[in-house]
Amino acid sequence: MSTVDWKNYTPVLIPDIKNLDQIDVYRDNGGYQALKTVLTDSEKWPDRKSVIEEVKAANIRGRGGAGFNAGLKWSFMPPSDGGPRYLACNGDESEPGTFKDRALFEYNPHLFVEGALIGAYAIEATAIYVYIRGEYKYFIDKVQKAIDDAYANGLIGKNILGTDFSCDFYVVAGAGAYICGEETSMLESIEGKRGYPRVKPPFPAQKGLWGRPTTINNVETLAHVPAVINKGADWFTSIGAKNHPGPILYGISGHVNNPGVYELPTGVPVLDLIHEVAGGMRNGKKLKALIPGGSSTPVVRADQLEGITMDSESLRSVGTMLGTAGMVVMDEDTDMVEMLWRISKFYHHESCGQCTPCRDGTGWLQKILKKIKDGEGEIKDLDLLLDITTQMEGRTICALADAAAWPVRHTITRFRDEFEARCKKSVFAVA
């Protein structure tokens, strides 16, 4: 098994440079060069298509969790009809365990702004919207400052860098709804409506913001673009796991000594991340379980983790997903029943209530888990929980029902003994 050489990796998204969030420092360190060459170097970048092709070749798989090739997504935009077109950037990151985008907003907002501008140029967008969760007030201000500075430097607005490319950049603050991180729901929210996910088709590339063609990318995904332009798609694909290449921001939280956001290649062994990158388990406890990419990705038992690396293929082999690479590490003292109840409570609270299975299913799951947590549950409740998850999965407009159902299904199947131990003893003798 080839292991990724992560120890010699130099970060590009959040490099160790002081005051990089200031536009002068950012420009001194080569910032906005990628944007400039894309807009002005007509030999290297003859047209918009060449930019899309390069990004497609780099295979930047969406960092928001779905892992779709960003360049391919850009190519879905219909040809321009002269009307407005939008690039919507998703910085809502509200999933428990995920906090990678804030590192970008805080330490390197201009990198994201530059990436978004290149993306906007490639898809001929006339305006960029970045939707940031309302709880990130401090970072919203930071991004706004970065955008204001870029405007002042002629990097956003009319005739950027003297070319005929014009584009506006707006920051939209969320108001505390997880569902608004779902891409179509985010569009509704940007439009000022209630954040209900839209029925697809029509897809955003056909009818997005205000009914106009729109591409939606995760903030981190766009932050990768300048490096791809500067160093080439080959450089990007040479890093990390083959089928899921490039650098990635790991948000490691939970019972480790040094939780935080780490920029490393994809495909780093999970145990290396826990024991070396994050400084090992807190108080020398034993690892019990791991949620690899935000609370909706299925939990994995510690004994399954040997040799598993952080890329979609390897994680699939143990029945989970990369998600947003927001890892939640749990030690041997963790109460899995309590943990699952808390996750269910979150999804119950955040279901938008549009589709029946999710609206009523999430509440039901939470209430049964509460009963089990309080020692009032019965063994049959565990099977009922699994039944409810089956009734929810794949039956709704967006994936929130799936996100709510998967943790329940997999935590119960993978830690069933713990759940059974919390239930009341059956009055029926077992033969």
Partner 1 sequence: MPEIFIDGQRYEFEGEHRVLQFIQDLGKEVPFFCYHPAMSAPANCRQCFVKAGQYVKDRETGEYELDEEGNRTIRWFPKLQTSCNLQMVDGMVIHTQETDEQVARAQKDTLEFLLINHPLDCPICDQAGECPLQIQTYKYGPEGSRFEVKKVHRPKRVRLGPRVILDAERCINCTRCVRFTDEISKSHQLTIVQRGDNNFPITAPGREFDDPYSLNTVDICPVGALTAADFRFKARVWEMNQTPSIDMTNGKGTNIDLWTRDNIVLRITPRYNKEVNDHWMPDEARTAYTLFNENRISRPLQKLDGEQVLSSWNNAYATLMEQLEEVKPAEVLLVGSPHASVEENYALAKFANLNGYRKPVFLRNEEKGKADGFLLTDDLAPNTNGCILLGFDELTPAEFSAEAEKAGLIILVHDDFISREVLTAGQLDGKYTVIFASNHTKTTKAADLVIPVTTAAEHAASYVNVEGRIQRTFRAKETKYNKRRLDMEMSEGRLDRYGTNFDNWVNEDNKIDCLPLWTFISNLTGYMGTEITLEDGRLIMSEIASTIDAFNGVSYAKMDENSGIQLDTEKVSKKVES
What does the angle CA 397 – CA 212 – CA 62 come to, to the nearest 5 degrees?
Answer: 60
Question: Is 395 near partner 1 (CB under 8 A)?
Answer: yes
What type of residue sits at position 266?
T
Taking CB under 8 A as the binding criterion, the range among 166-174, 237-245, 266-274, 345-353 that sits at the site for partner 1 is 345-353
Largest CA distance in the chain: 83
How many other β-carbons are positioned within 10 Å of the β-carbon of residue 347?
25
From the CB of 419, what's the least distance to partner 1, in Å? 17
Question: Is 351 near partner 1 (CB under 8 A)?
Answer: yes
Residue 79 burial by Cβ neighbours in a 10 Å radius (0-12, 13-18, 19+): exposed
Choosing from 33, 134, 391, 418, the residue that interacts with partner 1 (CB under 8 A) is 391
Question: Is 174 near partner 1 (CB under 8 A)?
Answer: no
Question: Is 414 near partner 1 (CB under 8 A)?
Answer: no
Closer residue to partner 1 (CB): 89 or 400: 400
Choosing from 90, 312, 396, 411, the residue that interacts with partner 1 (CB under 8 A) is 396
Instruction: List beta partners, residue 169.
Output: 128
Question: Is 349 near partner 1 (CB under 8 A)?
Answer: yes
Site for partner 1 in 198-237 (CB under 8 A): 199
**108 Cα distance to chain centroid:** 17
Choosing from 134, 157, 319, 353, the residue that interacts with partner 1 (CB under 8 A) is 353
DSSP code string of 47-74: SHHHHHHHHHHHT-B-TTTT--BHHHHH
What does the angle CA 356 – CA 360 – CA 361 come to, to the nearest 5 degrees?
Answer: 100
**Short-list 19, 2, 212, 27, CA closest to 123:** 212
What is the side-by-side strand order in the sheet with 287-291? 260-265, 247-254, 326-331, 287-291, 300-301
Choosing from 66, 161, 271, 384, the residue that interacts with partner 1 (CB under 8 A) is 384
Question: Is 134 near partner 1 (CB under 8 A)?
Answer: no
From the CB of 399, what's the least distance to partner 1, in Å? 11
What does the angle CA 404 – CA 90 – CA 164 come to, to the nearest 5 degrees?
Answer: 160
Closer residue to partner 1 (CB): 242 or 345: 345
Question: Is 354 near partner 1 (CB under 8 A)?
Answer: yes
CA dihedral (211, 214, 220, 222) in degrees, to 10, reads -150
Q: What b/e readout covers 30-66, taking b as 16+ CB neighbours within 10 angstroms?
A: ebbebbbbbbeeeeebeebeebbbbbbbbbbbbbbbe
Choosing from 207, 345, 371, 416, the residue that interacts with partner 1 (CB under 8 A) is 371
From the CB of 271, what's the least distance to partner 1, in Å? 34
Question: Is 345 near partner 1 (CB under 8 A)?
Answer: no
CB 252 within 8 Å of CB 103:
no
From the CB of 351, what's the least distance to partner 1, in Å? 4
Euclidean distance between CA atoms 118 and 225, whole angstroms: 7
From the CB of 189, what's the least distance to partner 1, in Å? 13
Question: Is 295 near partner 1 (CB under 8 A)?
Answer: no
Instruction: List beta partners, residue 327.
Output: 252
Choosing from 106, 363, 379, 416, the residue that interacts with partner 1 (CB under 8 A) is 363
Question: Is 266 near partner 1 (CB under 8 A)?
Answer: no
Taking CB under 8 A as the binding criterion, the range among 25-33, 93-101, 311-319, 354-362 that sits at the site for partner 1 is 354-362
Question: Is 14 near partner 1 (CB under 8 A)?
Answer: no
What is the total count of residues that contact partner 1 (CB under 8 A)?
32
Closer residue to partner 1 (CB): 30 or 176: 176
Using CB under 8 A, list all residues that contact partner 1: 177, 179, 194, 196, 199, 348-364, 367-368, 370-371, 384, 391, 394-397
